[in-house]
Amino acid sequence: MSRAYRLEVMTKGVPAKDLARIMTARFRWEEIGRGELNGIIFFAGEGCLTCGQSESDAHQAISDAIKIEYPSAQVATQWTCVEQPPYTIYGDDFNTPSVIRNSESMKGGASNNG
């Protein structure tokens, strides 16, 4: 079974192009962004963990691969499971009758709205 994730890898001491190469070529993450902020190089990607691999185990594999090329690098990862991410909804409940009734009175375009 695989789980889809959005992954952010943050490093110090690793060039952005090399971080992207490691993540895409070795680990097969699809790159969705990369950059630098306050001296921290980051890679953002989407992909999957498979065969019951934990986020912690995947972090360790990524960190080990980076440190083979850059032994003094600092590495952190942030994992967001995209299959059931936490979320909060603010605003009106569109399934209530009052919202449906109010939307009926707005039909006809801007000329009917004042």
| Predicted local confidence at residue 52, as pLDDT | 84
Q: Please provide the CATH number assigned to the domain covering 3-81.
A: 3.30.70.260
- What confidence tier does 3 reach under pLDDT thresholds 50, 70, 90? confident
- Whether 46 and 7 have beta carbons less than 8 Å apart is answered as yes
How do residues 60-76 score in pLDDT, each as one tens digit?
A: 999 999 999 999 999 99
- Whether 6 and 48 have beta carbons less than 8 Å apart is answered as no
Q: What are the sequence ranges of the domains in the chain?
A: 3-81
How do residues 10-40 score in pLDDT, each as one tens digit?
A: 999 999 999 999 999 999 999 999 999 999 9
- What confidence tier does 57 reach under pLDDT thresholds 50, 70, 90? very high
How do residues 91-101 score in pLDDT, each as one tens digit?
A: 766 666 654 45
What is the chain's mean pLDDT, rounded? 84
pLDDT of 112 over the 50 cut: no
Instruction: Report the alpha-carbon distance of residue 19 to residue 66 in Å, rounded.
Output: 7
Instruction: Report the alpha-carbon distance of residue 38 to residue 105 in Å, rounded.
Output: 52
